[in-house]
Structure 1
Amino acid sequence: MSIAVSVVVPAYNASRTIEGCVQSLLRLSAQSPPHEIIVVDNGSDDSTAEIVRNYPRITLMEERAVRGPSAARNAGARAATGDILAFTDADCVVTPDWLVLGVVPLADLGVCGVAGLIKGVEPKNEIQEWMNSRNILDARAALANAFRPYVQTANAFFRRTDFWKVNGFDVSLLCGEDCDLSWRIIEATGGRLALVTDALVYHDHRSSVRGLFRQSSKNARAAAYLAEKWGGVLPAKHWKTSVWEVLDLTRCGAHYAGVSITVKPRSERINAKLDFLHRLGRKHGMIASAWRTGQYSRW
């Protein structure tokens, strides 16, 4: 009997990107396993829901009671009927063989989750070009995490039974919910995570300086929230690492200042600025979440 898949896409004010996402899901290869596509509108006040309603093959749900992608994904997973849950995001475009390839490792009962690669879409400006060059959402780096590997929810596959064995995503976590879910599933099943490099999705990276800074800050906040939840299990951050990060930020800022006041190619000036803003955003996120959670060593 064939394995069925439920694709779950959380969406909040995604009118700019949701149509491209939905259309790519409807263009999945004919060799794909039987599947349903569930888009969960998380209380949008734009035209996200109206756009999705134009596609009868898509199941549109609403999750307004609890905000956040974790709550939306859990709502989609509750409605899912497939044996496997496949997650991507409203600002992603999947490749035709995404499902065909992504589910293959789960035939091995020793595998409890699968990650596919996440690349940037064709860049619309220099900021997206920089984000593509820095491989901001690197699945290989996530799977090489020093504590435990994890998969990023822009491109992730889990068995539905394993997902609910750990009660799905923790909606109380403001950041790092993908790490937390992966780690809990690994603990509960004793399984391992697999990478399928050809199960590709393309992510529409932030295209403004403000968006880049906020994304960098948000990604860096996860460490303190995870340390708060995982207590003494998560290895402590060494003070030398924090000092190195400050020195690296200072060095990067000095390089940006030097490039700005000398005659350098525009591309070099742009890259220096964005490198600095990325590091500044990350340090901002670390400090903000350390202060909020009381995990002061995580700054």
Structure 2
Amino acid sequence: MPQASMVANEIPAQHTNFFPTVSVIVPIYNGETDLPGLIDCLLGQTYPADRVEYLLVDNGSCDRTPTILTNAITQAKATGLTLKHLNETQIQSAYAARNTGIRAATGEILAFTDADCYPDSIWIENLVQGFQNDRIGLCVGEIKALPGNTWLECYAERKNIMSQKDTLAHSFCPYGQTANVAIRACAFEKIGLFRPYMTTGGDADICWRLQRDGDWQLHYAQTAVVKHHHRTTFKELYKQWYRYGCSNRYLHQLHGIKLTRPLMGREVRHSLARWIAKEIPSGLIKLITGKADLVDLAMTPIGLYCFRARTLGQRESRLPDKAAEIAWLETD
């Protein structure tokens, strides 16, 4: 099996005449809250209108998503852009919805983001530049936080949760989250599409197969930015980290990666004791002198809460039936 490789700090290519055809694919499920903002960001892209198409795939929404998409198509036509409303109703999975988009795509490059993301106006232009190198099969952009005011949003921002830099540093093989990834269309012919029945972890799986089975290299497009909201409630934060644990378990079963070591009871007690005895007193002094805020005082217990959720997700989950199946492009 070829060794995975990454071009993480390659000098950005000049933007002058490199405009490959691009299909932007977005899976959507009940996206009425965030979808209008995403559509505005897509319609505001600097990429040439005749070189890009936007494929928005409704994955069985039961809110106002279909109406919003219908209106967006009219809006796009008025500005000379191509926006298509596709449907994936057979399988309830963002990865199945992405596969529907892949099958309908006409671009040389397929760019992926999510319905609750807000790409910068030069996102596509910056994301595709790495493909000037023929060895590059996937380009990974950066994910940054939208401004937030709650403790949990501030915590996530300070911990750089969702930054691609963490996933690119994965000990098994680098990967990018599909909130901001682009892949050569031809690369899917050899390694197949997303595993349509996976519920989490498909981002890493497709990137690893591209590098290890397809022998493609990865490029980090740091200036291709999408913005994303962090979780605002403990319930949402718990679900996020529980899902991370499930992903660890699924990828362990599929690729043999090491499972994340759970925190032991004595480690939790030691962390809490250190927090009470050292971090709170020093934090209060910094708080009084204006060098810290209340979020700094809460970092340790919030972190332990997240790690516990991930531990339980990893312990309780098993790869769903049929989740190991890989979808393929239809051949004539």
After TM superposition, the structure 1 stretch with the greater mean CA deviation from structure 2, 151-160 or 51-60, is 51-60
Other structure's SS at 2:167 match: helix
Larger Rg: 2
CA distance in 2, matches of 1:183, 1:137: 18
Cα deviation for residue 74 of structure 1 reads 0.5
Other structure's SS at 1:81 match: coil
What letter matches 1:36 in structure 2?
E
Cα deviation for residue 173 of structure 1 reads 2.4
Cα deviation for residue 187 of structure 1 reads 2.5
Give the aligned length: 287
Match of 2:240 among 208, 212, 215: 215
State the partner residue of 1:287. Answer: 315
Give the share of equivalent positions with the same residue, in percent: 28
Q: Is the 8 A contact 2:251 2:257 kept in 1?
A: no
After TM superposition, the structure 1 stretch with the greater mean CA deviation from structure 2, 276-285 or 263-272, is 263-272
Q: State the TM-score, normalizing by the size of structure 1.
A: 0.87
Match of 1:145 among 161, 165, 170: 170
CA distance in 2, matches of 1:245, 1:138: 27
Per-residue displacement from partner, 1:175-208 (whole Å, max 9, x unpaired)? 2101110111113331211101100000122221
Match of 1:12 among 14, 23, 29: 29
Kindly indicate whether residue 95 of structure 2 is the aligned counterpart of residue 47 of structure 1.
no
What letter matches 1:79 in structure 2?
A
Q: Is the 8 A contact 1:2 1:33 kept in 2?
A: no
Cα deviation for residue 253 of structure 1 reads 4.6
CA distance in 2, matches of 1:291, 1:139: 24
Q: Is the 8 A contact 2:155 2:295 kept in 1?
A: no
Cα deviation for residue 286 of structure 1 reads 1.4
Relative to total residues, which structure has the larger helix share, 1 or 2? 1
State the partner residue of 1:109. Answer: 134
State the partner residue of 2:44. Answer: 27
Stretches of structure 2 that go unaligned for 5 or more consecutive residues are 1-17, 77-82, 288-293, 322-332
Question: What is the RMSD of the two structures over their aligned residues, measured on CA atoms?
Answer: 2.7
Aligned pair in 2 of structure 1 residues 261, 113: CA closer, same or farther (>3 Å)? closer
CA distance in 1, matches of 2:320, 2:106: 38
CA distance in 2, matches of 1:88, 1:172: 19
What letter matches 1:289 in structure 2?
S
Kindly indicate whether residue 201 of structure 2 is the aligned counterpart of residue 176 of structure 1.
yes
Cα deviation for residue 246 of structure 1 reads 5.3
Cα deviation for residue 65 of structure 1 reads 0.7
Aligned pair in 2 of structure 1 residues 194, 65: CA closer, same or farther (>3 Å)? same
Per-residue displacement from partner, 1:94-132 (whole Å, max 9, x unpaired)? 001111111111121111111011011111422212111
State the partner residue of 1:197. Answer: 222
- What is the correspondence of 1:237-252 to structure 2 with a 5 Å cutoff? 237=259, 242=261, 247-252=266-271
Cα deviation for residue 166 of structure 1 reads 1.9
CA distance in 1, matches of 2:253, 2:112: 26
Q: State the TM-score, normalizing by the size of structure 2.
A: 0.78
Q: Is the 8 A contact 1:33 1:99 kept in 2?
A: no
Aligned pair in 2 of structure 1 residues 74, 108: CA closer, same or farther (>3 Å)? same
Match of 1:70 among 95, 118, 143: 95
Aligned pair in 2 of structure 1 residues 32, 246: CA closer, same or farther (>3 Å)? farther
Per-residue displacement from partner, 1:56-105 (whole Å, max 9, x unpaired)? 23211111110011001101111111111000001100001111111111
Cα deviation for residue 163 of structure 1 reads 2.3
Match of 1:122 among 138, 147, 153: 147
Other structure's SS at 1:51 match: helix
